[in-house]
Amino acid sequence: MAKWGQGDLRWIVEAREDGTNVNNWHWTERDATRWSKGKLRDLLVGIVVENEAGCVEMSELKQVEGQASCSSRKGKLIFFYEWNIRLSWKGNVKESGAKHKGVIEILTLSEENEVDDTEVNVSKKKDVDILKDLMKTAGTARVREALGDYLKALKMEFTMEMILPAKAMATQEPTVERKLSENTLQVCPLGLGRKIPTVALHMTELFDATTEQLYSVFTMKDLVQKFSKSPAVLEAEKEGEFLMFDGNITGEYYRIVDKKIIMKWRCRNCPEERYATVALSFVPTPGQTELQLDCTGVPVCKEESMKFCWQKQHFEEIKGLLQLTQP
């Protein structure tokens, strides 16, 4: 094994007397089974599909069997999940008003298959081809979309802090700060005399909505819950608190006006009591609104996960919501 200051930083053993699994380099594992069962229930139950012939709702999660975990092996993240899921659905035929029930079975959702290839079987208690056809087409598509959202959330939730920085990273601040000088705004205290470098992010995205419509997506609880597909707490006023994505995102509104929102913003697995500052500016353009995001105080190790969160969990989901709400 390397001595302190020599060799590959990932093999440094000074941080622990027994020299075992320093900084989670050799291995670490987190069980995601219990969390996954709750997340799958939240995403699948309540899905509604409708056409001119009928309407169907996923009414109950009858069975969810399997397991999920996230592991790191020598710096590589490995996700394992394998699920068999059984849902009940209920629907009605619009022309006759007749009500019917059925079952959806999701077989072997696992990392070995793409979500679009996951087998989804639809059955019904009576011969009602109208509703069964609706479930096989639109219903199956919505189920697979929800499964994709589960996998995104799994990777976002369980990637955080699986691989910890080596101690040397904390003792080489001047070098790190110089290397990041073009993007870094400050070096953020992390307690116990340690500091971490932080980076500023700037992102822009165009939305097919007015500034008022887009602004409301960030300030109205029901809209936040729709695009995040999870319960939310929202006090859209100065010093009001917010909680989103099952508590994975928390913070406080610092300034909130019609065309700008400034927030203290924190991901659950960021360093304790450390908040980034997120500024959202809503800029009208012909037929659209440009959202400008400026974020400061982001720990360098969280830069990619922050970008992923805003691009995948916010921007893309909001665009989907806006498409559904357009007249």
Query: What is the structure's pLDDT at 203?
Result: 93
CA–CA dist 229, 223 (Å, integer): 10
CB distance 132 to 156 below 8 Å: no
Number of neighbours of residue 53 by Cβ within 10 angstroms: 13
Number of neighbours of residue 72 by Cβ within 10 angstroms: 19
- The model carries a pTM of 0.47
Number of neighbours of residue 287 by Cβ within 10 angstroms: 9
CB distance 102 to 89 below 8 Å: yes
Strand locations in the chain (E):
27-31, 48-50, 54-73, 76-93, 99-110, 119-124, 187-189, 195-207, 233-234, 241-244, 249-257, 260-267, 276-285, 288-299
CA–CA dist 200, 194 (Å, integer): 20
Residue 63's nearest CA partner among 107, 119, 122 is: 107
At residue 170, the 3 state secondary structure works out as: helix
Query: What is the structure's pLDDT at 80?
Result: 84
Residue 282's nearest CA partner among 172, 205, 195 is: 205
Per-10-residue mean pLDDT of the chain, 327 residues long, equals: 44 44 56 89 90 89 89 70 90 85 87 82 73 87 90 76 44 35 41 64 93 92 89 88 87 85 84 81 92 89 83 90 78
Q: Tell me the residue type at 3.
A: K
Where in the chain is CATH 3.30.530.20? 172-325
Could you tell me what percentage of the chain is helix, strand and coil, using 3-state DSSP and rounding each to the nearest 5?
35, 40, 30
List b or e across 158-187, with b for residues whose CB sees 16 or more CB atoms inside 10 angstroms. Answer: bbbbbbebbbebeeeeeebeeeeeeebeee
* CATH number 1.10.1060.10 given to 172-325: no
Query: What is the structure's pLDDT at 76?
Result: 66
Cα atoms in the 13 Å half-sphere on the side-chain side of 157: 22
Where in the chain is CATH 3.15.10.20? 28-159
One CATH from 3.15.10.20, 3.40.640.10, 3.40.50.1100, 3.90.420.10 for 28-159: 3.15.10.20
Residue 242's nearest CA partner among 209, 275, 289, 271 is: 275
Number of neighbours of residue 202 by Cβ within 10 angstroms: 11
Query: What is the structure's pLDDT at 97?
Result: 83
CA–CA dist 53, 314 (Å, integer): 33
CB distance 122 to 104 below 8 Å: yes
CA–CA dist 208, 213 (Å, integer): 9
